[in-house]
Structure 1
Amino acid sequence: MLIPLDEHQLLVFWTQLLVLVSVARLFGGLMRRINLPSVIGQLAAGIIVGPSIFGRVWPAGFEWFLPEEEISSGALLAVSWLGVALLLVTAGFETDLGLIRSLGRAAALVTGFSLVVPLIGGLLVGVALPDSFLGDEADRTVFALFVAAALAVSALAVIAKILSELGLMRRDFGQITVAAGMANDVIGWVMLAIFASFAASGAVSVRVVLETVLGLAAFLALAMTVGQRLVDRALRWVRRDGANIAGAMTVVVVTMLVYGVATQALGIEAVLGAFVAGVVLHRSRFGQPEVLHHIESLTTSLLAPIFFATAGMRVDLGLLDSEALRWVGIVLAVAIGAKFAGAFVGARLAGQSPRAAVALGAGLNARGALEIVIASVGLSLGVFSETAYTVIVIVPVVTSVFAAVSLRMVVRGWRGSADEQERLDREKALSQNLVVKSSRILLPSRGGPASISAAQLVQFAWPKEAPATLVSVVDGGERPDISVLEAVLNERVVDHRSVSGSSAAAEITAESRLGYGVIAVGVATRHEGQLYSPMVDEILLNATIPVVIVRRARDLERPLPAAFSRVVVPVTGTRSSSAAQEVAFSIADQLGTEVVLTHVLNRKTFVPRVLKRRTSDLDPSEVVAKELMDIATLRAVEAGVWPRTLIPSSANVPMALVGVAKDEDCDLVVLGAQLRSVDGRPFLGHTVETVLEQCDANVAVVALPRRS
């Protein structure tokens, strides 16, 4: 039976939320202004409105604000635990298991040493701490394990925040720091699950270890297999008609609750289930990036501040007598020194430079939500006394400040190696692209030579980390042979789908709404009354993402065209022209292809004299053309390509481009187009359609979707 809060209890509850959110957000914002994690300010806010300050300055007011009634405390703690559950979902979203695996030896050594060394130090401290730090009837061994876990792990969220604010996330050492932080989080939650089981049973036993480990292993196995498939199906279903933020949010919340219920039923904290739910949701390719933004907004603006402020309210600095303060210093020294030493040794063994090893030791000292959760669980299970809880919560506050300040000092003036800087510049350029990105590629195919040419262009132009989905178009029940396409795309992750030929365009368009970045389709002969084929025309009309049309070179007898040696790229100054340049520059960067940037001066077009520079005697159209070519050339050089430029004149721009392609003996022309609909058919522009019709070389058209 539900027992409602009375009017006074509701007033107190809403007042608690108002005060905690306001003060936590205020102090969190102040911390960010001085480049420190907001969690520090939120914890400080809780300490201020808790017994440490508010309770001593105005005891009567504090007693009204935080009464000892169980139902009032339960309501506030329920909100705070919901906050930490959503916080852990976002942490799971940021956990990239593939990154941990890819960094291999370096990540493993740094992770191992940065955990083992402080874990040993924490065990020694836990054994040495006085009995007053233990909860009522707490087992000393379980207590020492909780202390060790709290001192050993790092906080991924705080690490990521510090690295992001300093612009170090994609640095080599930054990637290792993130990978080690992820592994710290995963191992930390597993340790918490096992140690909490010890606390619940009252002692350390082999039976409890086996039950917890086997139960956790079974849960993880089911969560990552059956659970992953169910989450994928749910996210795919809610996205069947396009973006659906509300539906995806429902899937996220339900997944979090299901996983939380499962882990709590196993005797493991529900927050571990929330973390695993975040990992599973992040692994789904049908997710919508906007969902994470909405969850983060809700969590960071309301629920997480309540959790951290509530955690701070449970700190009572008045419990720290001279002996306790001495132990605070010892605990902090062990926490910082052991974590730094472990990370430094692991980094040096992995072949990192001394400076990178120091940066890793500094960065991995950041602690936050996980340590506070460990302290909160320890307090709720009776493992920690109020004094021990206060000491443990002080650790993430001090160590996060240490990590932010020391890391900023270490990296000052350090840009890394030339190779690292080149990689960072390429990644920055890729993130700013319109079309050539790391998102999934959709490649429909009937198995013919045209789709093979499209696959080859995709393989050379898109980064290898961009996965692809091959969609086999089945006509008459006979599946096409796509083995050649699979061989062309052998360096990237490829999955497969099949669609019926009669409904291919509709199914492909629907599939493209499920998180893809581009559709690449090969075309051959033109059909009467259509641009190329009924399927391609319908895809172009209904696509909401860019479509790359690849028309295979004429009179080509081999299945695969030769690797592109020279590419002509018309330059017009439009977004679609920039997208075409991205494709051409990416191919050139990978293959060493010569790029010929071309702008045809249309002598039929009148350019107003107002555009003419006063200091130049050139025709205004030539001035504009030169400026466009300078911009395109600069983009090419930034992409690592040194192009040639041509500015011919003609009254027939399309045929002039066809002539340039022939005179330059190019084997690829890449054009940009803005999709339009004319009389119910897609229209790419007179120039593009003429080049597609008349040019003998391979032609690729990067068509941006119609504007709504």
Structure 2
Amino acid sequence: MPQIAKSWSFRLSLLLVLPLILASTALAANAPKAEGPSEALFLIQVIILVVVGRLLGEAMVRIGQPSIMGQIIGGILLGPSVFGLIWPDMQLSLFPTDVAQKSMTNAVGQLGILFLLLLAGMETDLGLAIRLRRAAAGVSLTGIAIPFALGFTLGELIPADYIPDPDKRLVTALFLGTALSISSVKIVASVVREMDFMRRNIGQLIVASAIIDDTVGWVIIAVTFSLAEKGAVDLPTLARSVIGTLAFMAFSFTIGRRIVFEIIRWTNDRFKSDLPVLSAIIAIMGGMAIITDLIGVHTVLGAFVAGILVGESPILTRQIDMQLRALTTALFMPVFFGLTGLQTDLSVLSDMPTLIFAGVVILIASLGKFGGAFAAAKIGGYSRAEALALGCGMNARGSTEVIVATIGLSVGVLDERLFSVIVAMAVITTMAMPPTLRWALKRLPMREDEKSRLEREKFEETSYMSRFERILLAGDRSESSDLAARIAGHFAALRKMPISVLDVTGNPEDEEQVEKSDERAAKMVEAVNRAATRVVENAEGEADVKAADIHVTVRSKEGKLIDLLGEDSEKGHDLLFAGVEPTAARGGGFDKRLTEMSTAFAGTTAIISSRGTMPKDGKALKILVPISGTTRSTRAAEFAAVLAKAANCEIAALYITEPQAARSRPRLSDVTDVHREAFKKIDEIAGFYELEIEKIVQSSGSPELSILKRARLKGFNLIVMGVSRREGDRLSYGTIADTLLESSDRSIVFIETE
């Protein structure tokens, strides 16, 4: 018994049986009081669906399958197919057919559909689909057209007793064609990511094709749903649905994109209560779902498009994304997929004609999808191994087909038999996809261009700059403030980082000064936009640098500066550009105001000080970054590389050796090895940003003097220095930084890198 108790299967069985025992007890206690729908029973149903779905989902993950398969299988086990056969009275008591009682769980399930589509949209990488649009569109459209045509033909030919309403045969055929033709981007992406093929060429093509599949699929579903409501092809209704869908999509991806971003930004910045952005996202999803319902298409299209726009919001923090994902994964997914399983009666497959029909559906779905994707890949010039992987990867339905089947059942164009067949097809094709794709991907050799790109993308994953999401620019319209605005503009354009501008002058309690403060902030916004626009113009049409990605707003000064900085760091600002004067205090060290600002801001601070040699807008920067081989200096070099890339200017890395240290080494090569290792990191940064970084080695007993001498000798006008804050009440970054602050005639950026 102890050995059995240790096994996973025993523990799983015990955990699956326990909720049913508890439910039985609760039902027995509640039975005499039950009149109408029971809230207690509703809670029991939700808890059981969540627990069973989670446990079986865990089991599926452990054997290499998507977790939603466990949730669907859990519902099937709890439904008439298994639990209903073993203990029919208990199954009916636990999940009664009473309309009022079912409507309670169905409401959660309907919300689950919207949240699932919202999450699917947020996971949709439009940039990837656009970048691979030609190949992906060919694979996707061919992969949709062939199985859709086969499914539609099958729907037109099947006997009338398979169709709940023979007068709606056309719509039933459309639903069947749709269910057989669309891949689930969530399943596809999760398997490709698990295989570590997300950044490989074929992996990106598989995911991009699935994204187009999903997007086109939901448009087809939306139009098909409008036909299902009429029961036949009604040209005015069809025209309204098609035109309305196209208009909705056009508006959403132009003006709507900006509106969604502004709603999220305004909510994030203005509200002080918990989780305001999450509420805003739910409201956006609901509003867009209602709009699609009003134009005669299904609400799922609105939720999916809302998810795409929310996912593209530049200030959607990882924390907000995780909160929404947690709510959907923990509650809505197991309830929705569990209810889907409950509605699936696999006993219909005991009828031989139905079983044969189900086999035909699975065969058509698999061969049609595989064949379409394989053919498109070969036509596109891909190798046989790549085409094979692509065909295997696209043959996963999962959540998409389940939602299609649920919609078809709800509008009466599918009966429980057809519904069960489609769900069985979705389960089988989805469970077959991971092992077949793994087999196909292992056969693919690594190309040289892939290897080079993967190295660059690996750098991006671990890069210092990738950790930052949003900049707060704090300035006072001084020369240092103008330089900070210019630098911020470079980051806004190249790194697509949203920027909030805060004027730090004036008394926040004086209305007249607050008004002038907002005017000064508006001028800083102009400076940021001017610099960012120049970066876009100089990029010469590079796909990754677009004017649409520049987001600069004014942060209203409503309260004390120290409080504002603390609030802003809590609102997602993680990088502070402080451009104020005086930078240095009269008695030495940094000005007291900078000490207060750096202390109040919880993120990383970059102090920017403009000195006499700083060129004005439109003139070239020339950057010098001192390095020492430490993580601190390497991070500063990456910061400087972003500026150099954006400004298209010269940049040099200066490594300073101390003569005394060099003499103490037994061999000269020991000294050179140290700076070679440091320069190796610089080469990685230069390779990623496609820069030529000059590497200089200089021997000096005084690093700060050596930095200034080199800057003056070669005409560098901006020094970027990585620093770490020292303990104490007064802001200090160490002797070298403090000395440069007081004596430098070159502009300096002190970036905290530790």
Identify which of 145, 149, 161 aligns with 1:120. Answer: 149
Q: Does 1:687 align with 2:739?
A: no
CA distance in 2, matches of 1:227, 1:155: 25
Alignment of 1:259-408 (within 5 A): 259-320=288-349, 321-408=351-438
Q: Is the 8 A contact 1:508 1:539 kept in 2?
A: no
Task: Report how far residue 599 of structure 1 moved.
Answer: 5.7
Give ranges in structure 1 of 5+ residues lacking alignment: 604-616
CA distance in 2, matches of 1:310, 1:548: 53
**Corresponding position of 1:654:** 704
Q: Is the 8 A contact 1:194 1:209 kept in 2?
A: yes
CA distance in 2, matches of 1:96, 1:59: 46
Residues 404, 142 of structure 1: alpha-carbon distance in 2 compared, 3 angstrom cutoff: same
More off after superposition, 67-76 vs 143-152: 67-76
Alignment of 1:181-192 (within 5 A): 181-192=210-221
2:704 is aligned with what amino acid? Answer: P
CA distance in 1, matches of 2:165, 2:75: 25
Q: Is the 8 A contact 2:722 2:750 kept in 1?
A: yes
Task: Report how far residue 209 of structure 1 moved.
Answer: 0.6
**Corresponding position of 1:577:** 633
Residues 263, 546 of structure 1: alpha-carbon distance in 2 compared, 3 angstrom cutoff: same
**Corresponding position of 1:421:** 451
Tell me the secondary structure at the aligned position of residue 406 of structure 1. Answer: helix
Across the aligned residues of Structure 1 and Structure 2, the Cα RMSD in angstroms comes to: 4.2
CA distance in 2, matches of 1:438, 1:152: 40
Q: Is the 8 A contact 2:290 2:299 kept in 1?
A: yes
Task: Report how far residue 375 of structure 1 moved.
Answer: 0.5
**Corresponding position of 1:597:** 655
More off after superposition, 306-315 vs 408-417: 408-417
CA distance in 2, matches of 1:508, 1:9: 49
Alignment of 1:119-518 (within 5 A): 119-220=148-249, 228=257, 231-240=260-269, 246-320=275-349, 321-412=351-442, 414=444, 416-435=446-465, 439=469, 464=494, 466-467=496-497, 469=499, 479=523, 482=527, 483=530, 486-490=533-537, 491=539, 492=545, 493=547, 494-497=550-553, 515=572, 518=575
Residues 285, 148 of structure 1: alpha-carbon distance in 2 compared, 3 angstrom cutoff: same
Q: Show CA shifts across 1:143-178 (max 9, x none).
A: 100001101111111111111111122222322322
More off after superposition, 223-232 vs 279-288: 223-232
Identify which of 695, 711, 722 aligns with 1:672. Answer: 722
Q: Does 1:75 align with 2:121?
A: no
CA distance in 2, matches of 1:435, 1:77: 45
Q: Is the 8 A contact 1:88 1:274 kept in 2?
A: yes
Q: Is the 8 A contact 2:488 2:499 kept in 1?
A: no
Task: Report how far residue 580 of structure 1 moved.
Answer: 0.9
More off after superposition, 626-635 vs 13-22: 626-635
Q: Is the 8 A contact 2:314 2:497 kept in 1?
A: no
CA distance in 1, matches of 2:430, 2:753: 45
Task: Report how far residue 106 of structure 1 moved.
Answer: 2.1
Residues 403, 56 of structure 1: alpha-carbon distance in 2 compared, 3 angstrom cutoff: same
Tell me the secondary structure at the aligned position of residue 721 of structure 2. Answer: strand
Task: Report how far residue 345 of structure 1 moved.
Answer: 2.9
CA distance in 1, matches of 2:188, 2:741: 51
CA distance in 1, matches of 2:620, 2:716: 11
More off after superposition, 155-164 vs 493-502: 493-502
Q: Does 1:41 align with 2:70?
A: yes
CA distance in 1, matches of 2:175, 2:733: 65
CA distance in 2, matches of 1:242, 1:694: 44
Task: Report how far residue 563 of structure 1 moved.
Answer: 6.0
CA distance in 2, matches of 1:688, 1:599: 17
CA distance in 2, matches of 1:455, 1:282: 27
CA distance in 1, matches of 2:440, 2:471: 40
Tell me the secondary structure at the aligned position of residue 170 of structure 1. Answer: coil
TM-score, with length taken from structure 2: 0.78
Q: How many residue pairs get matched?
A: 685
1:16 is aligned with what amino acid? Answer: Q
CA distance in 2, matches of 1:623, 1:355: 48
Residues 80, 142 of structure 1: alpha-carbon distance in 2 compared, 3 angstrom cutoff: same
Q: Is the 8 A contact 1:437 1:463 kept in 2?
A: no
Residues 240, 531 of structure 1: alpha-carbon distance in 2 compared, 3 angstrom cutoff: farther
1:425 is aligned with what amino acid? Answer: E
Tell me the secondary structure at the aligned position of residue 456 of structure 2. Answer: helix
Give ranges in structure 2 of 5+ residues lacking alignment: 1-32, 504-515, 540-544, 688-692
Task: Report how far residue 383 of structure 1 moved.
Answer: 0.8
More off after superposition, 594-603 vs 15-24: 594-603
Tell me the secondary structure at the aligned position of residue 239 of structure 1. Answer: helix
1:486 is aligned with what amino acid? Answer: T
CA distance in 1, matches of 2:500, 2:365: 51
CA distance in 1, matches of 2:272, 2:133: 36
Identify which of 623, 629, 635 aligns with 2:681. Answer: 635
1:595 is aligned with what amino acid? Answer: A
**Corresponding position of 1:546:** 604
Residues 666, 276 of structure 1: alpha-carbon distance in 2 compared, 3 angstrom cutoff: closer
CA distance in 2, matches of 1:505, 1:415: 57
* Percentage of pairs with the same residue: 29
Q: Is the 8 A contact 2:658 2:699 kept in 1?
A: yes
Residues 531, 98 of structure 1: alpha-carbon distance in 2 compared, 3 angstrom cutoff: farther
More off after superposition, 299-308 vs 447-456: 447-456
Residues 555, 229 of structure 1: alpha-carbon distance in 2 compared, 3 angstrom cutoff: closer
Residues 502, 95 of structure 1: alpha-carbon distance in 2 compared, 3 angstrom cutoff: closer
Higher relative contact order (CA 8 A, sep 6+): 1
CA distance in 2, matches of 1:459, 1:512: 20
Q: Is the 8 A contact 1:245 1:291 kept in 2?
A: no
